[in-house]
Every structure is written in structure tokens, then in C-alpha cells.
Amino acid sequence: MNISPKEGLVLEQLSSNAGSEMYGLEMVNASNGALKLGTIYVTLGRLEDKGFIESRKEDASVRTVPRRLYKITGAGRKTYLAWSAAMSAYNKGMNGVLV
């Protein structure tokens, strides 16, 4: 299944977090400007619809307004690894090619 570059960035964030859960703003902050607050939740929703991530609401006793926490699924990890390898091969192939 194809994923967009933004979806790849989100899967990368979740994959590199050693299977821990992250919330949207945390991913935006960790991306050094690659992800934006205005698009992160739309992207997370698409990835959840595809089955690549899953989410849950934080325990209400922890915060006044509970956050939604996201983690990558097995299918999401496999998809990310395949996408990452394809992008790496593409970028290697493009080295030296004048556009």
C-alpha cells in the first residue's frame, strides 16, 4: 500500500520511539518542523483507518483534558520499513541524475 511522505514521517516517529506511545503535538515537536500541527491529526486519522497505527485516550485521571496516544502496529512497522527501503533505493538511483 502506498503512503505519502507525511505518513512516512509519522510512521518514522512512531517506529523510532521504540514502540512507545506518542501524542500528536509530541510528534510535531520531535519532527523539527517536518510535521505541522494543522495536518498531523488528519494524517494520524488516515494511518489509523489504514490499520498502520492505533490510538487510545489517555487516562482521564492523568490530565484534565486527556490526550489521544498513538502507537505503530505490526502492519505499520512493516509498511514503514518497506517504504523506507524503497525511498532509499530511489534516492540512491537519483544521485547523479540531472533534472
Report the number of distinct structural domains present in the chain.
1
In CATH, what number is assigned to the domain containing residue 52?
Answer: 1.10.10.10
Query: What is the rounded CA–CA span in Å between residue 16 and residue 76?
Result: 12
Q: 95 in a domain, yes or no? A: no
pLDDT, one tens digit per residue, over 41-93 is: 999 999 999 999 999 998 877 667 888 999 999 999 999 999 999 888 888 87
Q: What strands, in cross-sheet order, belong to the sheet with 53-57?
A: 22-23, 68-72, 53-57
Q: 92 in a domain, yes or no? A: no
By residue count, the chain amounts to 99
- Highest average pLDDT, of 2-6, 19-23, 47-51, 82-86, comes from 47-51
Q: 72 in a domain, yes or no? A: yes
pTM: predicted TM-score of the whole model, two decimal places: 0.84
Whole domain around residue 45: which residue ranges?
5-86
Q: 97 in a domain, yes or no? A: no
Burial of 69 (0-12, 13-18, 19+ CB in 10 A): middle
Contact present, 25 and 32 (Cβ < 8 Å): no
